[in-house]
Chain A
Amino acid sequence: MRGISWQGLAVAFGALGLLTSLQTSEDENPHARAPRDVSLVVTEGAWLRAPGADWFAQRAKAEPGRFTHDATAAGGAGGWVDSHGEYSLSEIEGEWAYWQWASAERLTDGRQDFVQFCSSCHGLNGDGYGRSGQHLRPTPRSFQQNKFKFTKVTADLPSDEALLSVIKRGLAGTPMLPWDLSDVQLLDIIQYIKSLSPEESGWRDVYSQVGDAIEVTEDPWTDTKERAIVRGREIYHGAASCHLCHPGYVTNEELRVIRKDPEGTTYRENLTYPALKDSEYEVLGRATKVMPPDFTWHQMRAGTTTADLFQTIASGIKGTAMPQWKGAISDEDLWALAHYVENLIVSYKDQPAARSAFMGGLRVSGDNK
C-alpha cells in the first residue's frame, strides 16, 4: 500500500515535470536565455594547437627534465619531446606542428570554473552573450571568433602564458577584472576557452599560428628619456601616422612640419579627437566599431608602463585597425613611441587643468577645432 502510492506520486510528479519542461520557449534575445539546463561535463578531450619550438626551448629551461630535444623528430628536422605526454609533434598534410592534448577531465574542470566565474559576461557557451554582457561596450569576447585584442604576442593566437597574464591583470576600464584564481584553475579555464574555437579555425586549425609573448627588448632610451619623447612624437605623427586614428597631439602647423608636407595641406577633421574605426569582431550579426584611445583621457587596457606600451604597440591589437608594428618600424622607434605615449599619460591623464591647457592650446591655434 505504502510503496504503491509513493511510486504513484513519483510517477505523477515525474510526468508533470516532463510534460512542462519539454515545452521551453526559445527566447529571441541571446542575452536572456534561461540557463536551466547547463551541461557541466565535457565528455571529449581536444587537440589544441601549441606554440612553436622557441616556446618549448623556454619551457625546457623553466621545467628542467620535462622537455628534451630530439634531433630525429619531425622527420629529421628535430623537435621537442614532452615526457608528460601533454605536448606532441605531428604531421598533418605535410605540416609538422606541435599539439597540446587537453583531456576531458581537464576540460570539465575548466568548463566548471568557466561557468562559475566567466559565464555571466562571456555567456554559458562562451559566445559572448552573457546576461551581464548585455549593452556592454566594448563587448565581452566570444571565444568562437578567435579575436583576442590585448594578448601582446607575435601571432594571431596567444600562448597560454599570454592569456594567463591578461586574465590575471584584467583589462583596466572594462568589467574584465584581475582574477584572483590559482594558476591551475586559470590554465584549465584557458584550455576550455581554446577548445571552444570552431573546427578548422583557431586552436583546432593546423594552419593557425600560436604566438609567444613579444620579447621586451632592452630599452635604448633609459638615460635619454627627453630625447625619446621628442623622437616618439615625430614617429607618432610622422612615420607611423598614429594620428590617423588616435588624436594628433599637435597643431596642424606642427603636423605639417613633422610630416614635411607642403604648406596648405589639410588633415582629417577633429584631429585632436580619435576617429571611430571598424573592427573584425562581430556582435549580433554586425561588426562592432572600436574607439582608439586618447592617451590623455582614456584608460589603457593593457598597462601603462613603457614595457607594456612597447609590447602593445609592437603586437598591435588583434581584430582592430591597430596593426602589428613589430618589424614595421625599428625597436628603437617602438621604444620611443612607448616613451612618448607614457609621457602623455603621466602628464595629462586625470589632470584636468594640465590637460585642458595642453589640448586647448592645440585647438585654438589651428583649424582643427
Chain B
Amino acid sequence: MSMLSTSTPSFAFLRSRWLGCPLALMLTSTWALAQDKRWGPGEPASDYGYRFGELFWLITTLVSVAFALVVVLLIVPMLRDRARPGHRASFDHGKSLHDKRLTAVISIITFIVLDAWVLVIAMKDLREAYWAIPAAKDPQTYKVEVLAQQWAWSFRAAGVDGEFGTPDDILTTNELVVPKDRPVSFNLTSKDVIHSLFLPEMRMKKDLNPGAINLAWFKPVVEGEFSILCAELCGFAHYQMFGKLRVLEQGQFNEWEAEASQLASTAFDADDTEGHWAWDWQE
C-alpha cells in the first residue's frame, strides 16, 4: 500500500502543449470548414440568423473543453494505471466529506459554465428574436398565411389592399416572395398532416399543425433566392416538399406585389368559394 501512495504518477505529457494545440487547431479548422456550404449552413440571411451560429459555436467550445477533459481522464488511467504485478489500486469509496464537497463543487461549476451561461444567452435570444413576433398592425410587417399540404406549400399574402380574403390576395405554390429588411410574419397551418416550415438560411423553423395556427417570423437582410424545406415527416414525398424563397429589394418588391395583385384579381373566380381559404389574421 505504501508503495502506491508514495509513487507519483508522471504528468509530464500533460504539461506539454501537444494536447492543447490539437484541440485549438481542431476547433478552428472545424469552424473554418463549417463556413463552407459543403460543411455548414453558410452565412445567415436573416437579421437574427447570426444568433444561431454564435450560440452554436459557444456551446461547441464549452463542450469541446468538457469532452477533452473526459477523454484525458479516460486515457490517462488506461496508460498509467494498467494492472501489472505488484500494482494495487488505491482504495477509495469516495464517501468522505471532502469527496462529497468536491462532487458538489464540480457539479455547480459545470452547471454554471456549461448550462447556465448558455441558458442566459438562449433566453435573451428568445426574448429578443425568436419569440418577438412583430406586431400585425405595424405597416412594415409583411404578413403571409401559409397552408401546407402533402406535399406542397401554399402561400397567401394580402396583396396591395392589405386585407386577407379579397380578390387581390397573392397566392403562390412552393414559392414565396418577400421584401428585404421588413419583418415577415407567418400564420401557419396545414390541411392534412403536420409539416414544418424550415428556412435554413434564415435559421427559422416552425411546425404547421392541422387545426391550429402557429406563428413565426424572420427578417431577411440579404437579397436573393433561398431554400424552403419541410422538417417534419409528412409522408412519402416529404423529401420533395421544397420551395423557393425569393427576397427582393423593397422597390422591386413593391412592383412585384402590385403586378401579382393585379394578376390575382384577373384570375379571381368569385363563384369558386371552395377555392378561397384565407382566415382572419391571428396574433
Contacts and interface: CB of A to CB of B under 8 A. Distances in A.
Contacts of B256: 352
Interface string A162-206: 000000000001110111100000000000000000000000000
Contacts of B150: 120-121, 132, 175
A267 interface: no
Given A131-B191, A135-B147, A352-B248, A291 B152 contact: no
Contacts of B240: 177-178, 180
Interface in B181-196: 191-192
B262 interface: yes
Most chain B CB neighbours (cut-off 10 Å) among A175, A274, A291, A356: A175
A73 to B, nearest CB: 43
Contact of A270 (B175, B266, B268): B266
Interface in A278-294: 283-284, 286, 288-289, 291, 294
B51 interface: no
Q: How large is the interface on A (under 10, 10 to 19, 20 to 34, 35 or more residues)?
A: 35 or more
Contacts of B174: 173, 175
Nearest to A131: B192
Interface string A293-324: 01001010000000000000000000000000
A87 B173 CA distance: 41
A350 B248 CA distance: 11
A-side interface mostly: loop
B86 interface: no
A135 B275 contact: yes
Contacts of A120: 149-150, 192, 235
Nearest to A134: B191
A132 B236 CA distance: 14
A350 B225 CA distance: 10
Interface string A107-119: 0000000001100
Contacts of A294: 263
Contacts of B149: 120-121, 132, 134, 136, 175
Contact of A352 (B192, B235, B252, B267): B252
B256 to A, nearest CB: 6
A132 B191 contact: yes
A10 interface: no
A364 interface: no
8 contacts: A136-B149, A137-B275, A275-B266, A284-B274, A289-B269, A291-B267, A352-B255, A353-B252
Interface of A: 116-117, 120-121, 131-132, 134-137, 173-175, 177-180, 270, 273-276, 283-284, 286, 288-289, 291, 294, 297, 299, 350, 352-353, 356, 359
